[in-house]
């Protein structure tokens, strides 16, 4: 689909921001207000697929319930037969994955200087999501946007789940193929257990580990080997891969990556309380708060 003068609904396509396997994200403009938004729409070849439409509208339904400065804001949904899409706030910022992979040393410096600020904002956004009864299920650097000021937003609710309790949890929790990104997936996701916010705490820990070490906590030659390590192997201290990481912060990440949910912090409020007391890097001066 080409941008330019093309219009979908009441929005004019401005520029292509991202292409995924089944969808694209565009910057769009609403002519009557002049306001800019982002639009996620299915590629034409998937527009009539029941399964892909279900996933898109599931993400939209989760996002519409969430209103927080560290979570992307979904505004409007269209179930058009030819161009199914949803519209969200336009947050002009790249993902942490882009900065992590960048060859520009300024991006590495940005991640280092803004580490604690970003980590706190992501934890704050996840605390809000979990409090709203939503488990993100796919926290990773790709799904965290951060602009030049270090303002951060969580995106992508395609596999997010609403927390179910008691009988409903057993009814809706039918084991199947694990959903999540293998390098950051929690042990509970792998084994098909009922999920709560502590699953996101594990993935958050794995994400922070990659951001400070330049590599995730586990690697495997095969998918099964990688998943087995999440279930059985203790990760090495982050200090082993980056001596500039403080011992205290390294131990904090290992606690987030505990195999059993009950051995991790109980929720992101506890994560934030601990994070507030910690220094991430030995070489970076950190203020006590996001001043």
Give me the active site residues, please.
138
The torsion region of residue 82 among left (phi > 0), alpha (psi -120 to 50) and beta comes to alpha
Which ranges in 40-104 belong to alpha helices (H)? Answer: 50-64, 96-101
- CA distance linking residue 64 with residue 149, whole number of Å: 26
Question: 147, 158 in Cβ contact below 8 A?
Answer: no
- CA distance linking residue 18 with residue 142, whole number of Å: 12
SS3 label, residue 185: coil
Residue 44 gets which letter from DSSP?
G
Specify burial of residue 103 (Cβ count, 10 A radius: 0-12, 13-18, 19+): exposed
The residue assigned the tokens 């809706």 is 172
Cβ within 8 Å of residue 169, ≥6 positions away:
194
CA 87 to each of CA 14, 62, 174: distance values in angstroms, whole numbers, following the listed order: 14, 13, 31
Cβ within 8 Å of residue 261, ≥6 positions away:
188, 196, 198, 199, 202
């Amino acid at each position: 689909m080409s941008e330019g003068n093309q219009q979908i609904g009441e929005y004019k396509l401005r520029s292509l921001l991202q292409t995924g396997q089944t969808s694209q994200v565009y910057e769009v403009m609403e002519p009557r207000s002049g306001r800019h938004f982002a639009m996620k729409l299915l590629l034409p070849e998937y527009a009539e697929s029941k399964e892909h439409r279900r996933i898109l509208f599931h993400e939209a339904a989760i996002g519409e319930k969430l209103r927080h400065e560290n979570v992307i804001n979904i505004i409007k949904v269209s179930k058009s037969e030819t161009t199914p899409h949803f519209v969200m706030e336009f947050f002009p910022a790249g993902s942490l994955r882009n900065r992590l992979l960048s060859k520009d040393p300024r991006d590495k410096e940005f991640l280092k200087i803004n580490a604690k600020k970003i980590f706190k904002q992501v934890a704050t956004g996840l605390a809000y999501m979990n409090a709203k009864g939503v488990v993100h299920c796919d926290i990773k650097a790709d799904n965290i946007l951060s602009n030049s000021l270090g303002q951060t937003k969580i995106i992508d609710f395609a596999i997010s789940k609403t927390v179910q309790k008691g009988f409903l949890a057993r009814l809706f929790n039918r084991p199947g193929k694990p959903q999540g990104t293998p390098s950051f997936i929690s042990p509970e996701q792998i084994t098909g257990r009922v999920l709560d916010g502590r699953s996101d705490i594990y993935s958050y820990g794995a994400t922070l580990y990659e951001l400070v070490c330049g590599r995730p906590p586990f690697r495997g030659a095969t998918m099964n080997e990688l998943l087995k390590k999440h279930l059985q192997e203790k990760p090495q201290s982050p200090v082993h891969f980056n001596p500039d990481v403080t011992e205290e912060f390294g131990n904090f990440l290992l606690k987030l990556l505990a195999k059993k949910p009950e051995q991790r912090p109980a929720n992101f409020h506890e994560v934030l309380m601990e994070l507030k007391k910690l220094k991430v890097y030995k070489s970076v001066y950190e203020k006590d708060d996001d001043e």
